Structure 1
Amino acid sequence: MRSYVLYLAAFVALIIDQATKIGVVFGLDLVNRLRLDVAPPLLTFRYGENRGINFGLFDGGSDASRWALVVISLVICVAVFLWVRRSHGQSRMMQLCAGLVIGGALGNVVDRVLYGYVLDFLNMSCCGVNNPFVFNVADIFIFAGAAGLILFEGRAKKPA
């Protein structure tokens, strides 16, 4: 079976991620406004430049760390692709989840290549807890895809 579900999911995730970043960060001029209350405190758009990985970890800020993170992201994309193709090629759910991870990771790679950092703009707080972190749609796809790979991995295996 071809991996059209994986390819389609990756492509759609990448396009949605880039479209939301362009629309919010540049279209709504968040790059200059820095903050836009949408439905506070549940949803606020806040401009962020992530030069590291999640929550700013490994934020070296150097050009070498930027390209190292690009290479690491691409290696992870290839590894996920090969793992799902070899182990779970018939499972559409595993293909979908892998596509979300790959598309989200590629969205962040595009940012690093174009801007030198990942554009973040989503901030969510609730119930009296003030969340200081910002993230983007690619992060949502990566998280959802990774959770799906874990949840559906056992179901996708063929009986011995």
Structure 2
Amino acid sequence: MLFYVIAILVIMADQLSKYLIRTYIDIDQVFTLWGMKLTHIENSGMAGSLFQGYGRLFGIAAVLFVIGVFYLRRTGEMKGTLIDSSFGFLVGGAIGNGVDRLLFGQVTDFIIRSGGVLNLADHALEMGVFLLIIYGVVSWLKKVR
């Protein structure tokens, strides 16, 4: 259940934030909200604006990724709160950006930080990877004992 709750909350927060940015903020407009610098960028590529113009292809990759995660969950080999949380963030982030890529051919990015401009789905993906690494380390430590 935790997996679904996290994934749905990530998708809802991501899509709502992108809708608000697209509706109320002009492209390249920079502003500060609650101490965070934000802007409005449309990115048809991937991280770091690499491979511009392949947004829909990355949308298909997101669909395949989500199918892969559901397959892994179905096998039942990976269990527990940590992996459910990781997969929830990963699937929520993949669907959040995948929806944009399939509908618009690009994603809306707006959170300025060192290394680029991201969105909530990107941050959810980072959190999912971080939790997946922790899960891997904990699993390895359990096997070593």
Query: TM (normalized to structure 2)?
Result: 0.85
Seen in structure 2, the aligned counterparts of structure 1 residues 151 and 132 have a Cα distance that, compared at 3 Å, is closer
Unaligned runs of 5+ in 2: none
8 Å contact kept, 1:94–1:156: no
Q: Does the alignment pair 1:58 with 2:51?
A: yes
Matches within 5 A, 1:25-40: 25-26=22-23, 29-31=24-26, 34-38=29-33
For residues 60-98 of structure 1, give each alpha carbon's deviation from its aligned partner in whole angstroms, at most 9, with x where no partner exists.
x2xxx232211111111221232244221x312201110
State the match for 1:148 in structure 2: 131
Alignment coverage as a number of residue pairs: 142
Query: TM (normalized to structure 1)?
Result: 0.77
RMSD: 2.3
Match of 1:31, SS state, is: coil
Task: Give the Cα separation in 2 of the matches to 1:20 and 1:91.
Answer: 30
State the match for 2:103 in structure 1: 114
Seen in structure 2, the aligned counterparts of structure 1 residues 100 and 122 have a Cα distance that, compared at 3 Å, is same
For residues 118-148 of structure 1, give each alpha carbon's deviation from its aligned partner in whole angstroms, at most 9, with x where no partner exists.
0001103xxxxxx462100000000001110
Task: Give the Cα separation in 2 of the matches to 1:91 and 1:156.
Answer: 11
From 4, 7, 10, the equivalent of 2:4 is 7
State the match for 2:93 in structure 1: 104
Percent identity (aligned): 26
Letter in 2 for 1:35: V
Task: Give the Cα separation in 2 of the matches to 1:8 and 1:151.
Answer: 20
8 Å contact kept, 1:94–1:153: no
1:10 CA drift (Å): 1.0
Task: Give the Cα separation in 2 of the matches to 1:72 and 1:104.
Answer: 13
**Runs of 4+ that moved beyond 4 A:** 156-159
Unaligned runs of 5+ in 1: 125-130
